[in-house]
Structure 1
């Protein structure tokens, strides 16, 4: 009977030791893969990306190229008039390297509407009461939303530049 209890004890200790070793190996493997996935890969660059200056420039050149063949016999068009800015608004450039999230309202709990790329121009319409959020309009599509303040830089307009020189 004593040898049976000794054998049973060895079996239980062996199974427990095996479970501990397996769980430690699983934890080590999980930590390894978590650390590998925490590093973001570099953004791939393609040959056709090097020539792009901005999405607006490529869209503009594509639209002028397609309309040039259609309107080649028509009279040349005048430059489009400058967009009228609403009162107390100004143009700004996004300076956050990763871009900004456009939201429905001034706060993190509002729904995300989309994003604004780095170096993209926006029209700042107003500021929230706590000065932490800016209401902006995207000139490319007219979409309005809120972005976190401090991530844009005001663009000097032509009239401001003339006033500074005088």
Structure 2
């Protein structure tokens, strides 16, 4: 009978220890989950982060040969290739378009739409040559394109000055000499 009482007391103490240990383990688990910082939120106006590409691991020649002989995968088709840029030949300007030079000392911001609240699409440096394509209905904005054709957008009117073609060619000839 004494052994039965000892077994009962030992079982009761063991059950209490298991309950306390389990409770402590659960508390640690939830505390660690709660204390971990959440991932950074991504908003619509944030710039996308470009992940650096990891270098491919070196493979043996036999693996490379077998990969070349196998059918192409989407990854192998997705690698961009440099395309040769066409020679810069003077393109005829659209009717109403003219060449101009930026006169604002700090340069200009290119906008997507002809409003100050519009999204920025790039910038133009002081004294850079541009092509004025059109003006807004209220004449407060001008749509321009960089002379090399890389960027296009809207800028405030009065910040560019029209270039005379004759003056432009004379300036180019004098800089070459």
Q: TM-score, normalised by structure 1?
A: 0.46
Q: TM-score, normalised by structure 2?
A: 0.43
Bigger proportion of residues as helix:
1
Decide which structure has the larger Cα Rg and report it: 2
